[in-house]
Structure 1
Amino acid sequence: MGGLFGGWYLFNIYFNLYNKQVLKVFHFPFTCTNLQFAVGSVLALTMWTLNLHSKPKVDKDLIVSVIPLAVVHTMGNLLTNVSLGHVAVSFTHTIKAMEPFFSVLLSALFLGESPTAPVLLSLLPIVGGVALASASEVTFNWPGFLAAMGSNLTFQSRNVFSKKFMGKSKGALDNINLFSLITILSFFLLAPFTLLREGFMFSAEAMKGIGILAPETVMKQALLAGVCFHAYQQVSYMILQRVSPVTHSIGNCLKRVIVIVASVIFFQNPMGRQNQIGTAIALGGVFAYSQVKRLQKKPAAA
């Protein structure tokens, strides 16, 4: 289990570092996102072909039921890349600490789950911390901020859809196969929009045409980002199969801290004291939210 958590964190760190390096010079988030889905699709098909994991039984009804998940998954990852293209990695992940807020909101709206007073109180430092960090962020701009907030909304919508989907009979479609199928569908969903909006830009000739001096390096980093992208999400699903959602949420909070620290060190992004305090408060709120949810689970399990 320690190895899985270590792999989850390591792949996520390298994804963010490679991805940001690419987006700093290659300003095509649709292309980058669809490339990541393409790499993940190849890896998933290879896994099934080599019998490394059981193949899912896919039919028309299953695909129709999974498409809503694929749509919000596509939008969430696209918006994350849009945000990373505009602001620092550390700031994007600070904003994404707002995920519990959207989780509570959407669960109340669509699942009828009313939040308790302790849950609502744990959301206050999250909202306040993000606001404090945003007010002093050097790289702040509205497109990056709104894209990150949009990714929170879409990813938590995905979780709500997943909960509804998991409540139905899904046969042999476990979490790993579900993620793999979502990845493949996401590639086909985003591909036409990518071509319409950005054209085919992932080639040495196209990159040289927009002034990139070392296109081979950018292409290599983009492919590595795609591998790390699929690997960290796949490992995340493997962990989710073995631990409770609350434990997974706490692990995700720690992962965000590690990614923020690693990106600040690697990119040397300036973080003022107010920004640091706001980020710490927001992440502390996420941890408090996780603890509240853990304590609320105990009576139900007794």
Structure 2
Amino acid sequence: MSSEKDEKLLPQPASHRGPQSHPVSLIASSIAFYWVASLSVVFLNKTILSGSEYKFPYPLFVTLFQLLVALVLLVVCGQLGKRNRLFSTIPPFEFDLDLVRSILPLSVVYVLMLTLNNLCLQLVEVTFYQVARSLSIFFNILFTYTMLRQKTSGPAMVACSVVVLGFFVGSYGESNFSWPGLLAGVGSSIFVALYGIYVKKTLNVVENNQWRLLHYNTAISIMLLTPIVFISGEMKEIMQEVYFLNDLGFWCLMTITGVAGFLINTAMFLQIKYTTALTNTISGTAKSCVQTLMAMVFYQNPITAMNGFGIFLSLFGSGFYSWVRYKEMQRK
């Protein structure tokens, strides 16, 4: 978390320690895994929601289907873990109501994060998606202060200001601007920042076992999202208007997207566990910049000079912020 020189140094449990308690190779591997999984999810979701012959503009249903695929994979891996050493770290599925009550706040944040993320991806170009979701660092600083009473240094605040400036410049310069997409991106940034904090806090409930937490979080999220899909009218609209529901290719693409969603969920848990929630935010922002360049190549998304400058500011601010936090960690 954001802990600076004027912060009170209190002993923390293992789940709250910074990345210095883990080998550099493990930290690097968890970040690399997150990058590969996250980039796959973004481009696969964009293909499903608005970029393929199976145009399927139903972000709530897509999110629910991905969660269902993830739960099936977790249950299967948990059973395989009883007999196969390769899956031995994944425990069998469990569902204790006392634990459910403790994990419920995390699941609410998780559902909102996924839903707003997919909605943003549906409504904006992949190039603008990075700008729309670039405020994660700002909200992480805000929440670590308001929720954890941890202050942020002056240089880190300056770096964050550059990121915020990049957000406004990039938004103003976007040629295919969308207010709903922008608001969904800002909302997603809020819940990405909250998610990192809540994962760290909630891991203690399941004895610091991220797989047990993943079991509960996925199952609870499905329970929360299912009625929302029906109330929103998406299910009725899908049954009435989607003509390719019997197409095997569509469901194969949906399943592949669900598997990728499972991998990004796992990658986020591992990155947060072996680094910090703040590192998760920084890594996500840097990954988004690479993602923007890839979108320019694959989708030929138009980028104006001002939009490109906003993306540059977001990247520069994130890099400067990372350097400041690294120096502060060294001094500690």
TM-score (norm 1): 0.87
1:186 to 2:221 alignment: yes
Deviation of 1:105 (Å): 1.0
Distance across 2 between alignment mates of 1:72 and 1:180: 16
Residue of structure 1 equivalent to 2:285 = 253
Distance (Å, rounded) in 1 between the aligned partners of 2:245 and 2:205? 49
Distance (Å, rounded) in 2 between the aligned partners of 1:191 and 1:179 = 18
Mean CA deviation greater in 186-195 or 11-20: 11-20
Query: Aligned-pair distance for 1:271?
Result: 0.9
Amino acid at match of 2:160: L
Segment of structure 1 superposing worse, 231-240 or 46-55:
231-240
Any idea what SS the aligned residue of 1:97 has?
coil
Aligned to 1:145: 182
Q: Secondary structure at the match of 2:135?
A: helix
Cross-structure match for 2:91:
55
Pairing partner for 1:120 from 147, 151, 157: 157
- 1:86 alignment partner in structure 2: 123
CA RMSD of aligned residues (A): 2.5
**How has the CA–CA distance of structure 1 residues 17 and 54 changed in structure 2, closer, same or farther, with 3 Å as cutoff?**
closer
Q: What is the CA distance between 1:201 and its match in structure 2?
A: 6.4
Paired residue secondary structure (2:286): helix
* Correspondent of 1:220 among 240, 252, 264: 252
SS at match of 1:200: helix
Distance in structure 2 (CA, Å) of the matches to 1:148 and 1:215: 31
Q: Which residue number in structure 1 is paired with residue 110 of structure 2?
A: 73
Select the structure that is richer in helix.
1
Structure 2 partner of 1:38: 68
Question: Structure 1: how far apart are the matches of 2:174 and 2:290?
Answer: 19
Which runs of 5 or more residues in structure 1 are unaligned? none
Q: Which residue of 2 aligns with 1:20?
A: 46
The share of aligned pairs that are identical, in percent, is: 23
Q: Secondary structure at the match of 1:43?
A: helix
Which one is further off, 34-43 or 243-252? 243-252
Q: In 1, Cα distance between the equivalents of 2:197 and 2:245?
A: 44
Number of equivalenced pairs: 295
Cα 1:200/1:100, change in 2 over 3 Å: same
Deviations 1:160-207 (A, max 9, x none): 3334334xx43544223323421221111101110221353698xx37
In structure 2, give the amino acid aligned to 1:15. Answer: V
Matched, 1:276 2:308: yes
Residue 215 of structure 1: CA displacement?
Answer: 4.8
Residues 103 and 246 of structure 1: CA distance in aligned 2, closer, same or farther (over 3 Å): closer
Q: Deviations over 1:111-144 (max 9, x none)?
A: 1122221121111110111111111112211100
Kindly state the Cα deviation for residue 17 of structure 1 after the two structures are TM-superposed.
1.5
Instruction: Say whether residues 1:8 and 2:34 are aligned partners.
Output: yes
Higher RCO, Cα 8 Å, sep 6+: 1
Query: Quick one: structure 1 residues 32 and 61, their matched pair in 2 at CA, closer, same or farther if it must change by over 3 Å?
Result: same
For residues 90-127 of structure 1, give each alpha carbon's deviation from its aligned partner in whole angstroms, at most 9, with x where no partner exists: 21222222101001111221211222211211111101
Distance 1:247 1:285 in 2: 14
Counterpart in the other structure of 1:298: 330
Aligned residue type for 1:262: M
The SS at the match of 1:170 is helix
Residues 125 and 301 of structure 2 are in contact (CA less than 8 Å); yes or no, is this contact kept in structure 1? yes
1:58, distance to aligned residue in structure 2 (A): 4.8
Q: Distance in 2 between matches of 1:263 and 1:36?
A: 23
Aligned partners of 2:281, 2:192: CA distance in 1, in Å? 14
Cα deviation digits, residues 223-280 of structure 1 (max 9, x gap): 2111111112312323444445565555333322222222222111111222111101
Could you tell me whether the CA contact under 8 Å between 1:40 and 1:180 is conserved in 2? no
Question: Separation in 2 of the partners of 1:84 and 1:225?
Answer: 14
Match of 1:288 among 297, 310, 320: 320
Residue 44 of structure 2 aligns with an amino acid whose one-letter code is Y
8 Å contact from structure 1 (residues 18, 225) kept in 2 = yes
Matches of 2:130 and 2:250, distance apart in 1: 23
Question: Which stretch shows the higher mean deviation, 262-271 or 155-164?
Answer: 155-164
Q: Deviations over 1:20-40 (max 9, x none)?
A: 111112111110111111111
Q: Which runs of 5+ in 2 are unaligned?
A: 1-24, 82-86
